[in-house]
């Protein structure tokens, strides 16, 4: 099975790039299933229903969120009627929406997708490791589903690496989001799970993690918040990861970063080139 995951979509520039490049990636590589993190898609914080549907129409099978899930308050309402949008699973009981789901891929196989949030340097939620264990036990790969994709939205690379090893052999892919900078550690772990500490953002990299540079610089230099942060508007790079799984086990056979457009050096999965 061919899986593609795209990192945090940041603002209008990131949305424009994804709406352009995701259909191209689908046409070029024919992935069976695509997940996009959309938690920064609306003005850099949160997501609206309109933007959610734009991402879905562009080719996202599932849209995941993170710590900005509720910054656009309408998300508290429309998430209840959109089963293909996931917020972190370790929010307290009673939080609107859900954090995991079983979805049908283009080839008819079943994919378990989880959105989980870390606790180091983040607002503390319930234990992410216990939440992952619960879902993997309830829907084991190779039995109840054919692939498992975990979007771990976390600040610390140590916590992200720990989650990768924790889920190794039980998931197809554990990929980090939130810090917006693509890491160079894409790999297949010893148990067969593909991993990358952060897949990077879909946004303008002539910025400070997707935000226009002036205000972040002033905050670092002067220690004063003088204006609100606004997303940078230059050409965006679409950052993601591609994984090919074994049909029998669901474990990863091949993994590659994806970077298309904008300022970063481009890379696509050569093993899918024809």
Find tokens 């554990």 and name the residue.
174
Query: Could you tell me which residues come within 8 angstroms of residue 223 by beta carbon, excluding any fewer than 6 positions away?
Result: none
Q: pTM (2 decimals)? A: 0.96
* Backbone φ and ψ of 133, nearest 5°: -55, -45
Tell me: the pLDDT tens digits for 106-164? 999 999 999 999 999 998 899 999 999 999 999 999 999 999 999 999 999 999 999 99
pLDDT value of residue 274: 65
For 202-260, the pLDDT digits (tens) are: 999 999 999 999 999 999 999 989 889 999 999 999 999 999 999 999 999 999 999 99
Which pLDDT belongs to residue 220? 94
How many residues in the chain?
274
- Choosing from 68, 153, 178, 186, the catalytic residue is 68
The answer to whether residue 68 is catalytic is yes
Enclosing H/E stretch for 70: none
Q: Which residue(s) pair with 177 in the sheet?
A: 153
Question: Distance (Å, rounded) from C-alpha 241 to C-alpha 152?
Answer: 14
pLDDT digits (tens, 9 = 90+) for 90-110: 999 999 999 999 999 999 999
Domains of the chain, with CATH numbers?
2-272 (3.60.21.10)
Percent of all residues in the chain with a pLDDT value above 70, rounded to a whole number: 100
pLDDT of residue 226: 87
């Amino acid at each position: 099975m061919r899986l593609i995951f795209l990192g945090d979509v940041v603002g209008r520039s990131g949305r424009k790039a994804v709406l352009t490049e995701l259909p191209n990636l689908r046409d070029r590589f024919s992935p069976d299933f695509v997940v996009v993190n959309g938690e920064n898609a609306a003005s850099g914080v949160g997501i609206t229903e309109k933007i959610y549907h734009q991402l879905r129409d562009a080719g996202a099978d599932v849209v995941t969120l993170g710590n900005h899930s509720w910054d656009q308050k309408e998300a508290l309402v429309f998430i209840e009627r959109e089963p293909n949008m996931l917020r972190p699973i370790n929010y307290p009981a009673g939080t609107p929406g859900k954090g995991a789901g079983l979805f049908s891929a283009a080839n008819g196989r079943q994919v378990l997708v989880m959105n989980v949030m870390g606790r180091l340097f983040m607002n503390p939620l319930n234990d992410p490791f216990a939440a992952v264990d619960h879902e993997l036990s309830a829907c084991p790969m190779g039995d109840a589903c054919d692939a498992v994709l975990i979007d771990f939205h976390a600040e610390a690379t140590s916590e992200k690496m720990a989650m990768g090893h924790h889920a190794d052999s039980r998931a197809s892919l554990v990929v980090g989001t939130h810090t917006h900078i693509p890491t160079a550690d894409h790999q297949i772990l010893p148990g067969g799970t593909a991993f990358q500490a952060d897949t990077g953002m879909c946004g303008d990299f002539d910025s400070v993690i997707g935000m226009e540079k002036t205000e972040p610089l002033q905050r670092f230099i002067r220690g004063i918040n003088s204006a609100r942060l606004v997303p940078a508007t230059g050409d965006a790079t679409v950052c993601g990861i591609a994984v090919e799984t074994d049909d029998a086990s669901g474990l990863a056979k091949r993994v590659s970063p994806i970077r298309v457009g904008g300022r970063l050096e481009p890379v696509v999965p050569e093993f899918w080139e024809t």
